[in-house]
Amino acid sequence: MFEEVDSDGSNNVSRSELEKIVKETHFGKGVDSDEAVTKLLHDLDVNKDDEISENEFVDGFTKWLNSNSNQAASSKSSSHEPHQTWEEVEKVMEGNQTKGVSAWLEALAYVFLGIIMLSLLAEPLIASVQNFSEAAGISSFFISFILVPLATNFREATSAIKEA
């Protein structure tokens, strides 16, 4: 990595070489490249000669990597999230996935079960809405698409209004 940054082969990384690497890295609009170069020089240039030797470069990045890995380890141990790395998440996802034909059969069984439940339970609701609309003199369309959803979601709607 040092040899890539040291483009002129002088065995020292100058400010201009750092600026070139920082600008090529494209950190984003929120990062000022001059500020990043100044910070890198401040952190890596131990003898303050405005150039970074190979030893300063290696020592600085080793210290930086060790401090970041220590921070990651401490945040990992203090975190309450069950999965910290992508590898762990992928293992859990692979373990939870049902593979092949059995997954399709299970999905189809749930669809048919839902259709059966809907056909059995919809009839009483339809009869109730029809009877209420005739007794109240209100269109059954209005009751089924306005009043019933409002009634079923009344508690959530009032709590949302109170929060607002």
pLDDT of residue 150: 77
pLDDT of residue 149: 80
One-character DSSP codes across 40-65: HHHHH-TT-SSEEEHHHHHHHHHHHH
Q: Answer whether residue 10 is part of any domain.
A: yes
Amino acid symbol at 111? V
Strands, E assignment, 15-153: 51-53
Tell me how far apart the alpha carbons of residues 136 and 131 are, in angstroms, rounded to a whole number: 9
Tell me how far apart the alpha carbons of residues 33 and 139 are, in angstroms, rounded to a whole number: 67
Q: How many domains does the chain have?
A: 1
What's the mean per-residue pLDDT of the chain?
78
Percentage of residues in the chain having pLDDT higher than 70 = 77
Model pTM score: 0.39
Reduced to 3 states (helix: H, G, I; strand: E, B; else coil), residue 128 is helix
Q: Answer whether residue 138 is part of any domain.
A: no
Q: Answer whether residue 20 is part of any domain.
A: yes
pLDDT of residue 111: 94
Q: Which domain holds residue 59?
A: 1-68+90-123
pLDDT at 95 over 70: no
Q: Answer whether residue 74 is part of any domain.
A: no
Q: Answer whether residue 75 is part of any domain.
A: no
Instruction: Identify the CATH number of the domain in which residue 48 sits.
Output: 1.10.238.10
Q: Answer whether residue 137 is part of any domain.
A: no
Q: Indicate left, alpha or beta for 50 from its phi (over 0: left) and psi (-120 to 50: alpha).
A: left
pLDDT of residue 151: 79
Tell me how far apart the alpha carbons of residues 133 and 140 are, in angstroms, rounded to a whole number: 5
Structure tokens at 149: 């959803």
One-character DSSP codes across 115-160: HHHHHHHHHHHHHHHHHHHHHHT--HHHIIIIIHHHHHTHHHHHHH
Q: Answer whether residue 141 is part of any domain.
A: no
